[in-house]
Structure 1
Amino acid sequence: MSAAPLRRLQEAPARPRPAGGAASAAARANPVTRPATESRPRLRAVGTPEQARSLAPFAWGCVLIILGALSTVLLLNTAMAQGAYERRDLKIEIANLHQERSSLVTAIEANSAPTRLANAATELGMRPAETYGFVSLADADSANRDQGDQP
């Protein structure tokens, strides 16, 4: 609105009236005027609207959310890379242990061969058995009972 002073109208603006009749002649003789006590509301200048809130807190919030998300992704990626290195090291260690196990199994098989065992027994002073026999647990049990009965 303009800040220019406003003029008040003292009388109502003239309207075109229908022609003819006694009522219309009386209405033309006494124009309608408003009493002085009944006045129009006074017009006043409207104040400036309140300024909109600043976008800076919203922008800072968005920046902080983005930075937080990026730092979280970076930390997760670093943790996953560290886990991958540990997994690689464990795979290498498992491969080395498998290789060591296979070499130990080969050594055990070589040492448990019948010819190797016979040579080791001879070196210890053992000699081959002249007769072969079988041990029966039932016979051994009855023999132990018989010996227990005799003084």
Structure 2
Amino acid sequence: MTHIFVNIQTTDLERSKAFYTALGASINPQFTDENAACIVWDDNVYFMAVTEAYFATFTDKQIVPSRGQAQVLIALSRDSREDVDKAIAAGVAAGGVEPTAPKDYGFMYSRDLDDPDGNGVEFFFMEPQAVEQGPDAYVAEQASA
């Protein structure tokens, strides 16, 4: 089984922990210390919020600040459009920013959220039929109905 660990940098580890737990994630204390926090989304998906100084020890590449720069956008699915909206509301209430307008493609609904360090997280819902059929077939079926 594959587990996904996404390393994100932070300037304030305690703020990151508070932000992501406000979104419904939990913290695994076994993998949390003064350098990093293991943020648990589910049994397979984790963020490692890592202090900037510690993050720099992982690579010889130049570290770009997450605020004002984008190298990756992390997308997490939710069970409904309402759950997407709830995640964004919780994130904004916890100090995040919604940098773009919601996107509704008919088969998929998504909203973006920047955490207090500027790391981008997208929450989306995709119609189960679109997952099974593919988006083009789903849209065509909806148009003919």
Query: What's the TM-score, normalizing by structure 2?
Result: 0.16
The structure number with the bigger radius of gyration is 1
Higher strand share: 2
Larger helix proportion, structure 1 or 2? 1
TM-score (normalizing by structure 1): 0.16
**Higher-RCO chain (CA-CA 8 Å, sequence separation at least 6):** 2
